[in-house]
Amino acid sequence: MLPLSGERINAKGIISEKLDSVDTLRGSSTLKRGFAHMQKNGVVMDVTNVEQALIAQEAGAVSVMVLDKLPSEVRKAGGVARTASIKIIEEIMDSVTIPVMAKCRIGHVNEALVLQETDVDMIDESEVLTPADELRHIWKWDLTTPVVNGARSLAEALRRIEEGASMIRTKGEPGTGNVAEAITHIKKVNDELRTIKSIYDSGDNQDLVRMAREFKVSYDIVEQTAKLGRLPVVNFAAGGIATPADAAYLMSLGCDGIFVGSGIFSADDAQERANAIVLATTFWNESDKVKEAQKMIDERQSIPGLDVKTLDLRMQDRGGSA
């Protein structure tokens, strides 16, 4: 079982009001990581308005992620991308029963606090928006609301978890409709997990210390992760997912679930595609069902993909060195 308690004193959460004459605890690591556990084997869909959020819920999404613009639009628009309008987030929260997440800029503590105050269910400290602080991500242990972070490698993932991330997703390359980078990232994380697991199994503590130094994280988290043989928090795939087959492939690589950004609502058959991607994610290991799902979409309606090599803006590099 994945560790839920977190390692830090302040991960124990805050004692809030007494109810039924017993103390109740909010914002504990168990509650924050536990929320991510409830999302497993599900699809989180990027939405920009109530209409899209309702389509997502109807399709069986486990959550919606509210943005001002879909990642593909952010890419076209240029300029500075910030957190979405609070009014739109609130309208969506009043319209759907599934959890509502929203993105804040990397390192922008007060955008995160605003989203926490808005009562969103999870905050995505996201490279899709323009970073506010490339060197320091948000210290997430202090928030009551759980936070998900992107990562391209095991080192990046563990650094975010040490800062208090309750969930990790691969970065991929957002807004491209090109799943190649997401596949590269999840395979890299898996390879690195295998490496540290084999070091752990061989009992070579010195080599684990070396890995910790290379990853720029503590020895403890490397040892804990190596022992588990997987990330110590729920791990989703994201970035460039456009079709049911994309979703099924990422699930087969061991992801706990997926985020779909522009792939659904930049396509011309959004409703059908939303249904199809959820089906393919749930039944990823039943090839007849994935085929059925793939048949529900029309490739001519897919988001036109972008070759990652020719991009001027590589969102995945944002905050990556910190």
Q: Report the interface residues with another protein, using CB under 8 A.
A: 1, 4, 13, 16, 19-20, 22-28, 30-31, 34-35, 37-42, 57, 59-63, 93-99, 116, 119-122, 144-146, 278-279, 282-283, 286, 289
Q: Shortest distance, CB of residue 75 to another protein, whole angstroms?
A: 29
Q: Report the first-to-last Cα separation within the chain, whole angstroms.
A: 29
Q: How far is the CB of 7 from another protein (least distance, A)?
A: 16
Query: Would you say 43 or 211 has its CB closer to another protein?
Result: 43
Closer residue to another protein (CB): 58 or 298: 58
For residue 77, the minimal CB distance to another protein (Å) is 30
Least Å from the CB of residue 123 to another protein: 10
CB of 293 to another protein, least distance (A): 10
By CB neighbour count within 10 A (0-12 exposed, 13-18 middle, 19+ buried), where does 190 fall? middle
Cβ atoms < 10 Å from Cβ of 110: 12
Nearer to another protein by Cβ, of 118 and 184: the residue is: 118
For the bound state, the minimum distance from the C-beta of residue 299 to another protein, rounded and expressed in Å, comes to 23
In DSSP terms, 43 is beta-bridged to 258
Phi, psi (rounded to 5 degrees) for 138: -65, 140
Kindly state the tokens that stand for 170: 């691969």
Burial class (CB in 10 A: 0-12, 13-18, 19+), 311: middle
- Residue 171: active-site member: no
Closer to another protein by CB, 297 or 303: give it. Answer: 297
- Shortest distance (Å) from residue 40 CB to another protein: 6
Closer residue to another protein (CB): 116 or 178 = 116
Of these residues, 103, 187, 188, 289, which one is catalytic?
A: 103
Q: How many CB atoms lie under 10 A from the CB of residue 244?
A: 27
Q: Kindly tell me which of 16 and 205 has the beta carbon lying closer to another protein.
A: 16
Residues facing 23 on adjacent strands: 18
For another protein, which is the closer residue by CB, 180 or 283? Answer: 283
Residues tagged active-site:
103
